[in-house]
Amino acid sequence: MPLLTLTSDIGQQDFLVGAIKGQILQINNNFSIVDITHELIPFNYQHASYICKNALPNFQEGTFHLILFNLFNENTNHLLLAKHNEHYFGCADNGLLNIILEDRPQAVVALSVNNDAPKNTIEYIKVFTKAFNEISKGKSIHDIGDASVSIQVKDPVLPNAGDNWIDGQIVFIDNFENVIVNITKHEFEKHRNGRKFKIVFKRDEIIEKISTTYADVAEGEKLALFNSAGYLEISINKGNAAGLFGLQSFSDMHQKKQQKFVTNRLFYQTVKIYFE
């Protein structure tokens, strides 16, 4: 029974999530559908990539991943089908794929969209699921689409670094309002090189140690640790770090701008680490 993960920015109030699953099962009722989330923040590529690149690799090889994010970013006549590390991905050609994979996909083809059919989510689901179904029955990705496609590429938001510092951006705030920074444990240790450090963020708050668990500090105290995805996290034991310190990710600021979004102007709050 083939696995198919479903990730989207549709939300939970729309009929579309149910309709999408119905269309998938009409084409192949053997697909086992796993919801990742339907709460991706619209237009926020860093939020979407953080969720996908840390969730999807946990599935077994041969899993199909359907990512419905910013699906109608451009008036296009194709969608993308990719194969990478024995996983299959279906998504729009909008630049998200290379941020998720942190690389170019090992194989990618364009799936044609029927220009005579309505360009809506349901019609696109039919295109994706037909391709997944053909692969599940033994077809090669190269037999399904056009391998000559030149895909869109977007640059991820990366930390900046100098000899004695590294500057990270807040890219995600979780359900407990823990603040996730785009600095990995590997990057931290590489720049630290055994030195002492200070993590500095809004209001000149300072943390000088890395905890292994929230219980390492007293209730109500701030801490920093590396989460299960390996990213730096600023938290308060049984508290609300984002709210207490006034920290925001890009998605929060985007909402406060009431949709006044400009693609090439992304504003993130930063967290700085000084090494001594």
Strands 270-275 and 165-173: antiparallel
Q: Where in the chain is the domain with CATH 3.40.50.10790?
A: 3-143
Q: How far apart are CA 50 and CA 46, in angstroms?
A: 6
The token pair at 53 is: 């690149």
Note the pLDDT tens digit of each residue in 113-126.
987 778 899 999 99
Note the pLDDT tens digit of each residue in 123-172.
999 999 999 999 999 999 999 999 999 999 998 888 999 999 999 998 88
Q: Where in the chain is the domain with CATH 2.40.30.90?
A: 160-275
Q: Which CATH number fits domain 3-143: 3.40.50.10790, 3.30.390.10, 3.50.50.60, 3.90.550.10?
A: 3.40.50.10790
Query: Is the pLDDT at 204 greater than 90, yes or no?
Result: no
Q: How far apart are CA 28 and CA 24, in angstroms?
A: 6
CATH topology of domain 160-275: Elongation Factor Tu (Ef-tu); domain 3 (2.40.30)
Q: What is the mean pLDDT of the chain?
A: 90
Percent of the chain past pLDDT 90, that is, above it, reads 75
Q: Give buried/exposed letters for 161-183 (b at 16+ CB in 10 A, else e).
A: beeeebebbbbbbeeebbbbbbb
Note the pLDDT tens digit of each residue in 8-28.
999 989 899 999 999 999 999
